[in-house]
Amino acid sequence: APAVRALWRMRPSRELDIVANPPDVGRQMLSYYGVRTIALRDGELGAERLQQALQAIEQVLPGARPVYHRDGVSIYDVGQVRQPQPFLVLRAGWLDVEGKGPDVGRWMGESAALTLVNPAPAARLVRLALDVTSYQRARPLTLRIDGHLVGTFVVPPSAHTIRLAFALPAGEHRLDLVSPTDQEAVAPGRALSILVTRVAVTP
């Protein structure tokens, strides 16, 4: 998960750009994957590396302050998640992010995937929304969860939102997006299908 990788690599994650997760998604991810505390050996890091590590912690746990700091070691408490919320993580198939600030998006080729997580102990009703635009012409977009067909939708070459509601079992699930491609008319000549500018899951 991006929150775990950001802390492991000690630098902020860039994998959350098109994913609209809950505000406390960092704590949600860490709690789901069993991370309860963060130990930072800041006394062993250079200034630049320390700054990156602190930025990663701020991204994952906004406003967090060490509960312990001594002898070059800072301990952060992840804290309790009172109400587990579903969240999304980008997987393979996405091209590099394009745009700046809130106006960003990622193209996919023939296929791309996300991990959809329900951290609650039981199945729950969730709503999935994808803001999408097709490359140059209308084309079908097929969605599958854990290999099971959800549906096929025609995406126009203009901004469009796909909305779904379904029961999501507890745990991790793979969401696959599949669509035929066209070759980009200009360099670098990528095979493009669908531009996704936002994907969100809510209870």
Quickly state the pLDDT bin for 10 (edges 50, 70, 90): low
* Residue reference for tokens 């939102």: 161
Question: Do 114 and 147 fall within a single domain?
Answer: yes
pTM over cut 0.95? no
Q: Are residues 123 and 193 in the same domain?
A: yes
| Shared-domain flag, residues 44 and 93 | no
| Segment 134-182, tens digit of pLDDT | 999 999 999 999 999 999 999 999 999 999 999 999 999 999 999 999 9
82: in domain = no
Question: Could you tell me the CA-to-CA distances from 50 to 6, 46, 64, 75 in Å, in that order?
Answer: 13, 6, 16, 14
pLDDT in tens, 104-129: 999 999 999 999 999 999 999 999 99
How many other C-beta atoms can be found within 10 angstroms of the C-beta atom of residue 170?
14
What's the confidence (pLDDT) of residue 16? 61
pLDDT higher than 90, residue 80: no
Residue 36 pLDDT > 90? no
Neighbours of 155 (CB within 10 A): 22
Contacts of 103 (CB under 8 A, 6+ apart): 197
25 & 117 share domain: no
pLDDT of residue 11: 56
Note whether 19 and 112 are same-domain residues.
Answer: no
* Count of positions (residues) in the chain: 203
